[in-house]
Amino acid sequence: MNILYILWLRQIKKYLRSKARIIGSLGQPLLFLVALGFGLGPVYEKAGGGNYLEFLVPGIVAMSIIFTAIFSGIEIIWDKQFGFLKETLVAPVSRLKIMLGRTLGGATVATVQGLIVFALSFLLGFRLPNWWLFPLALLFMILIALLFTAMGTALASVLNDMQGFQLIINFLIMPLFFLSGALFPLDNLPTAISIATRVDPLTYGVDGLRGVLIGASHFGMTLDLLILTLITGLFIVIGSYLFTKIEI
Amino acid sequence: MIEVINLSKKFKDFTAVDNISFSVKKGEIFAFLGPNGAGKSTTIKMLTTLLKPTTGKIVINGVDPTKEQDLARHSFGIVFQDPSLDDELTVSENMEFHGVLYGLAKKARREKIEELLKFVELWERRKDLVKTFSGGMKRRLEIARGLMHEPEIIFLDEPTIGLDPQTRNHMWNYLRNLNKEKQITVFFTTHYMEEAEKMADRVAVIDQGKIIASGTPEELKQQTGKASLEEAFLDLTGKVIRDEEIDSTEIMRQHRRMWGGKR
């Protein structure tokens, strides 16, 4: 327990100390909210979709979580050579604990990042209809954060240098985000896109979050929660397995 | 204290370490020498549980590190070739982290941290972030950290690389003191032959994965009929410069130099 705590604490301390990184990583989600929310808002409303900014907020909250989460997982690549990872790997501690502690820390940071974006959306006029549902929203955020931190860890465990980094951004994070329905409704999509969205695990996170925050879910929150929990569990298992196989 | 018998490590079709045997006695300062790519780091990684040997046997402080990993891990401290401190944490936090990982109780942890930081003369700086430190200070901190759980052996992989003579001298004074006072076994690699000649009780020379000579520095000089260990080393390993394949670690090291340790 002590060990999980200190691994977790380390991530939190590092996060709180890098003010520049916190502020820097808020730029993109805010830009998305402002530019897309207000830019596409009128068209969306004309098409009978309602308030686009409201629709967008859960998607952008999910976006800031997934970016932060995957990056914190991927940091392990760097850590393998120049960081604590080496020091932790020769310590008399099981790999599983190291992986779990790190993942919990990374996921906490990602969740906090999501909460900050969520809070900022209030400045742009977003309102939560029902505060009683907030804990459920938090649960969805935590699950998204855990899932993608574990995914980042799994990737970092098999990669040996930062060369693949660009690849991961363009061929993993971006598609995961854009195909998750974060920016558009899931109704009446062309078949190919519809299938892609259903395969994308983030879809269920965004959809669930949207269900809680604005009361509009495509699959229904129970199904979202079920699928998301299962996939998160799966990725924690995969991530842990690959992490224990790391050879330096 | 360290017993290595017929140890080999193969990576696909490349044999990094080829059937080596050696032993290090308790309280000895042992230098492990060899040109680039000779198999030094691979051997240290096997000794410290980071890599599994392909074949052969290792005994560290009476236990087999492939079987009783955690027991073996308690018995050694290590200073890696690349600093493995957390730059974003303070000196105390780095030490604290290590203490928790090695299961030290809070009180013992605090006492040990104070004792060791005073020993490496970093106690006054304990609240500073490590990223403000010079290379030499980081090394000192790493040595302090490696000693925190009172290991029987300390491994140092090129500990003095990139340090100025003053810092190097300073560092060796610590290590010698420790070695004398607490009978800690010191196992180190280096490219500086004068250092090995001056500090080591015994040396082993590894080249292309095989141990080609071992003994006291005196014995190696006699064996080759040379006046210094450096000449003896060159005589044993030849003067050809080794072209080590650049690997991903080296690529990242270059990045790190370029960005001054930051991403």
Question: What would the two tokens of residue B191 be?
Answer: 């490219």
Q: Hey, what amino acid is at A93?
A: V
Beta strand spans in A80-218 (E): none
pLDDT band at A1, cuts 50/70/90?
A: confident
> What count of CB pairs under 8 Å joins A to B?
84
Q: Hey, what amino acid is at B136?
A: G
Nearest to A110 by CA among A66, A79, A78: A66
The reported pLDDT for the residue numbered B261 is 44
Given a cut of 60, whether residue A75 has pLDDT beyond it is: yes
Q: Return the exposure string of B140-166: e unless at least 16 CB atoms fall within 10 Å of the residue's CB, then b.
A: bbbbbbbbbbebbbbbbbbbbeebeee
Mean pLDDT for all residues in chain A: 92
Are B30 and B200 in contact by the 8 Å Cβ rule? The answer is: yes
C-alpha A138/C-alpha A223 separation (Å) is: 17
Question: What would the two tokens of residue A87 be?
Answer: 């020091």
The reported pLDDT for the residue numbered B262 is 43
Are A76 and A153 in contact by the 8 Å Cβ rule? The answer is: yes
Q: At what angle do helices B91-101 and B106-119 cross, to 10 degrees?
A: 130
The reported pLDDT for the residue numbered B189 is 94
Q: Decide if B102 and A162 are in contact by the 8 Å CB cutoff.
A: no
The reported pLDDT for the residue numbered B258 is 64
pLDDT along chain B (263 residues), means of 10: 93 90 95 90 92 94 91 93 88 95 94 92 94 89 92 92 83 88 93 92 93 93 90 87 69 66 42
Q: Which residues of A touch B88 (CB under 8 A)?
A: 13-14, 17-18
CA angle B37, B38, B44 (to 5 degrees): 95
The reported pLDDT for the residue numbered A53 is 94
Q: Decide if B50 and A247 are in contact by the 8 Å CB cutoff.
A: yes
Given a cut of 50, whether residue A212 has pLDDT beyond it is: yes
C-alpha A195/C-alpha B100 separation (Å) is: 48
Residue with tokens 């939560």: A128
Question: What pTM was computed for the model?
Answer: 0.87
pLDDT digits (tens, 9 = 90+) for A102-133: 999 999 999 999 999 999 999 999 998 888 88
Who contacts B97 (Cβ-Cβ below 8 Å, separation ≥6)? A6, A10, A84, B86, B89
Q: Decide if A17 and B78 are in contact by the 8 Å CB cutoff.
A: no
Choice among A17-26, A155-164, A176-185 with the minimum mean pLDDT: A155-164
Nearest to B143 by CA among B155, B133, B134, B161: B155
C-alpha B182/C-alpha B152 separation (Å) is: 9
Domains in chain B, CATH or no CATH each: 2-81+134-259 (3.40.50.300)
Cross-strand pairs, B55: B8
Residues 185-244, chain A, touching B (beta carbon < 8 A)? none
The reported pLDDT for the residue numbered B162 is 76
The chain B residue lying nearest A82, using CA atoms, is B84
Residue with tokens 């982290």: B97
Neighbours of A196 (CB within 10 A): 16
CB of B80 less than 8 A from some CB of A: yes
C-alpha A102/C-alpha A89 separation (Å) is: 13
Q: Which residues of B touch A18 (CB under 8 A)?
A: 88
Nearest to B248 by CA among A165, A168, A87, A148: A165
Given a cut of 70, whether residue A81 has pLDDT beyond it is: no
Q: Hey, what amino acid is at A182?
A: A
The reported pLDDT for the residue numbered A237 is 96
Choice among A17-21, A217-221, B96-100 with the minimum mean pLDDT: A17-21
CB of A158 less than 8 A from some CB of B: no
The reported pLDDT for the residue numbered B259 is 59
The reported pLDDT for the residue numbered A232 is 97
